[in-house]
Amino acid sequence: MHFKGKFQPIYRAAQNLRLINCNFNDLIGEIPAMFGSLSKLAELSLFSNILTGVIPPSLGNLKLLKKRSLGSNSLSGIIPDSLGSLINLIFFGVGENKLFGTVPPSLFNLSSLTDMFIPSNQFTGSLPANIGLTLPNLRSLAVAINGFTGPFPTSLSNASRMEMLDVSINNIFGPIPTDLGRRMMNLSWFNFGYNNLGIGGAGIGGAGDLSFIDSFTNCTKLQILGINANDFGGVLPDAMANLSTQLDKLLLGRNRLVGSIPASTSRFVNLGALGLEYNYFSGTIPFDIGNLKNLQALLLAGNELFGAIPSSIGNLTRLFLLKLEENNLTGSIPSSIESITGLQIANLSYNSFVGSIPKAIGLLSTLRSLDLAHNSFTGSLPEEIGKLQNLQELYLSENKFFGGIPSTLSECLKLERRYLEGNTFQGIIPLSFGSLKGIVDMDLSLNNLSGQIPIELETLIYLKNLNLSFNNLEGEVPLEGVFSNTSIVSLQGNLEVCGGISELQLPTCPIKKIPKERNKLAFRFEIIVPVVASVILVALLVFLYRKGKPKETVNSQSLFKEEFLRVSYDDLLKATDGFSLTNLIGAGSFGTVYKGILHHDDKPVAVKVLNLEQLGASQSFIVECEALRNTRHRNLLKLVTVCSSINHEGNDFTALVFEFMPNGSLEDWLHPLGDSLSQSRNLSLAQRFILFLHEFSKRALSEQVMEILDPRLLLEESNVAINNNESQEVREAKLRECLTSLVRIGVACSAESPGKRMYIKDILKELNIGKELLLGDEIHVRRHIRMHLIGEGTSRPGD
User: Is 98 in contact with 122 (CB distance < 8 Å)?
Assistant: yes
First to last CA, the chain: 79
E strand intervals along 6-152: 19-21, 26-30, 43-45, 50-52, 67-69, 76-77, 91-93, 98-102, 115-117, 122-124, 140-142, 149-151
β-strand pairing of 472-477 with 400-404: unpaired
Cα-atom radius of gyration of the chain, to the nearest Å? 44
Distances (CA, A) of 357 to 344, 362, 632: 17, 10, 52
Q: Is 608 annotated as a binding residue?
A: yes
What angle do the packed helices 617-629 and 760-774 form, to 10 degrees?
50
Alpha helices in 651-727, H assignment, sequence order? 666-670, 685-699, 702-705, 712-715
Decide if 250 contacts 270 (C-beta within 8 A).
no
Enumerate long-range contacts of 177-181, CB under 8 Å, 24 or more apart: 177/152, 177/212, 178/211, 178/212, 178/214, 178/215, 179/212, 179/215, 180/156, 180/212, 180/215, 180/216, 181/212, 181/215, 181/216, 181/218, 181/219
Residue 765 in contact with residue 521, Cβ under 8 Å?
A: no
- 175: preceding bond cis by omega (within 30 degrees): yes
Query: Would you say 72 and 48 are in contact if contact means Cβ atoms under 8 Å apart?
Result: yes
Asked whether the beta carbons of 757 and 748 are under 8 A apart, the reply is yes
Burial class (CB in 10 A: 0-12, 13-18, 19+), 384: middle
Strands 604-610 and 652-659: antiparallel
| Known binding-site positions | 608
Residues making up the annotated binding site for ATP are 608
